[in-house]
Amino acid sequence: MYCYRFPDKDTFVAACGTLGWLSEPSEEVPEAVVIPYTHDRAIDEVGPIETLPGTYDEDGVELTAPEYDTRHHVNFMGEAPLEWDQYLVDVNSPSRIFAGSGAPITLEQLNELRNPTEEVE
């Protein structure tokens, strides 16, 4: 699984568009939307994530508001697009994962997968 952080949703949608991953506009859906699930990819749009939980009293009244990273976070399964490398982030404990996906892959690991080093005997 790969974890990406785009500046905003529009940047993410545009990045999907360059890869041909948007639906065709129709009467029912006049705007193109991301096609998240196919035979070779799965996209989980997480959106903004909470970085610091809020605090609440015993009645549930908010004492301090939670803080958020408002950038557009995305989890991805499939062949990692080269065009998205600049948005790949290292995540130690993702808030959501795909079942059976294991730990997120780092950029260093991704580069090793793309360019395996030959072992000398």
* Structure confidence by residue, pLDDT tens digits, 102-111: 667 767 777 7
User: Which amino acid is located at 88 in the chain?
Assistant: L
Q: Which of 7-16, 40-49, 101-110, 112-121 has the highest mean pLDDT?
A: 7-16
pTM, 2 dp: 0.75
- Secondary structure of the chain as H, E, C letters: CEEEEECCHHHHHHHHHHCCCECCCCCCCCCCCECCEECCEEEEEEEEEEEECCEECCCCCEEECCEEEEEEEEEEEECCCHHHHHHECCCCCCCCCCCCCCCCCCHHHHHHHHCCCCCCC
Q: How far apart are CA 79 and CA 76, in angstroms?
A: 9
Q: How far apart are CA 104 and CA 89, in angstroms?
A: 9
Is 120 a residue whose pLDDT tops 60?
Answer: no
